[in-house]
Every structure is written in C-alpha cells, then in structure tokens.
Structure 1
Amino acid sequence: MKCVGLCPAFVVELWGVLEGLCCVRRLGFTKVELNTDSEAVGQLVKEGRVTSLLGNTLAKQRKLLEFDWIIDISHTYCEVNKCVDGLANFL
C-alpha cells in the first residue's frame, strides 16, 4: 500500500506497476507476469513513452524493465481476476 495523494486512477495504476516491479525484483524473480486491468497503462508501460506529467514514474519503470529478466505485460479485466479486485476494493 502506498499513499499517492489525490490523483486519477490511471496514475494510481502506474504507481501500482512500479511498486509491484520493485517488489518482485527485490524478491529475485527472473520471470514475471504483469496483469493490469487498464489497457492504457499496459500499453504505456510496454511502449515506454514518457510524458511530462508521469515522467518520473515511467522512467523508473523503464529502468526496471531493462534489467535481465522476462516480463510479460498483459491486460486482464478486473471481473476476471476476482481475488485481486476484491483486495483492491478492501484496501
């Protein structure tokens, strides 16, 4: 859990991706499946486009993606992943 202040859901999703990647990197995983319920976030992370508003967060993600590991980024509807959706709504 992280306090990101008052911001759009899109930015929260990007922070979630960054925190998740940092966590699995610290745990030493070399093959990761990243699922997001936001197609736009998944596409932005895959393409590595940096906008001025989100530049710092995206730059950190880009740096993590360049490490020697395999990350499969895909879109998953939140209705399909009930466990994660339930946890997100609980917190």
Structure 2
Amino acid sequence: MLNIDGASKRGSTAGCGGLLRNSSGIGSGASLVTWISVMPTLQSSGESLIYGLTFAYDRGFKRIVLHVDSNVVVHTLQSDRDHSVVGWRFIQEIRRLLVMNWEVQICHSYRESNACVDALANLGCDHEPGMRVYEQYPTSLSSLLLADVMGITTPKVTSL
C-alpha cells in the first residue's frame, strides 16, 4: 500500500510525503518506508505521486494500492481525457508510471485516514530541498503510526 499527500506552506514551499508498506503493514518494522521531498512549487500533489510511484517501483513492488486524498486527482488519473492544462506534465508522467510492468490500483482516501502522510508532507515543507528516506519513522509520527496500526482514524466532520 502506498499513501501519498502533498502540502504547501508560506505560498512558495511545498512538501510531499508518502508511506509505503507491504501486506504486513506498519507494525512489522522493516516494512515501514517513508519519504519526504521538498520542491519550490505548488504542484505538490502531482510531484508526490511521481516520487511515490517511482520509489515503490524502484524497490520492486509489483502490486500497489495507491491511496490519494484528492478526488480530482483520482478521477483525472482514471479518465482517458486531459481535463486541464494545469498539471498536464505531471499527469502525463504519472500515467507513464502507471502503465509500467506492475499493477496499480488507485483509490480515494479521506484526509482523515491519511494522517501519517499528511504529517510527513507538512514535515517535508520544513526540510531542505531533496528526498529523505526514513527506514525508521520520525519520532514525531509515533502516535499517528500507532493509531494507524490500531485502525484508529480521526472522524470526518461535516456541517449539516
């Protein structure tokens, strides 16, 4: 499973984060791989998908369930049409990655169930540009990862 998120701070710094785990989940220790990257762009969602998919493919994963918290991104990637000129380069690169020699299932996940990668993306905004790979998770994510392992999510609050 690959969870992806992007974040932007101060209008000019964007970070992306991802959490890649095998079928054993986070609790198995060695299966936890997280990454953070920072780029001077507001296209963090597209950039985070490219980083995450490339990272998973390079590590030999042949089947991925990709969780993204943007319905627009999910629908755009599942469609044959290019809906917008904005982000067109990212969409083309992501589609190129999706048709490589592997199986990728794209799913929408609410932001509340993506708390770990949301925290990683925000953490990425505070780092220097470049990719960071954590074989051991940052201690600041301990409580979020524990909640994830236990299946605890923050409920989605909507107004009536």
TM-score bin (small chain): 0.7 to 0.9
- Give the Å deviation of 1:84: 1.9
Cα RMSD after superposing both structures: 1.7
Q: Distance in 2 between matches of 1:25 and 1:48?
A: 23
Note if contact 1:48-1:62 (Cα within 8 Å) is conserved in structure 2.
Answer: no
Q: Which residue of 2 aligns with 1:22?
A: 54
Q: Which amino acid aligns with 1:34?
A: L
More helix by share: 1
CA 1:82–1:37 in 2, change beyond 3 Å: closer, same or farther? same
Q: TM-score, normalised by structure 2?
A: 0.49
Q: How does 1:22-61 map to 2 (within 5 A)?
A: 22-50=54-82, 51-61=84-94
Q: Distance in 2 between matches of 1:2 and 1:48?
A: 29
Bigger radius of gyration among the two: 2
2:105 to 31, 50, 72: 72
Runs (5+) with no aligned partner, structure 1: none
Q: TM-score, normalised by structure 1?
A: 0.80
Q: Distance in 2 between matches of 1:4 and 1:45?
A: 24
- Give the Å deviation of 1:23: 0.8
SS at match of 2:95: helix
- Give the Å deviation of 1:13: 0.9
Taking every aligned residue pair, what percent have the same amino acid on both sides? 28
- Give the Å deviation of 1:43: 1.2
Q: Which amino acid aligns with 1:75?
A: H
More strand by share: 2
CA 1:57–1:48 in 2, change beyond 3 Å: closer, same or farther? farther
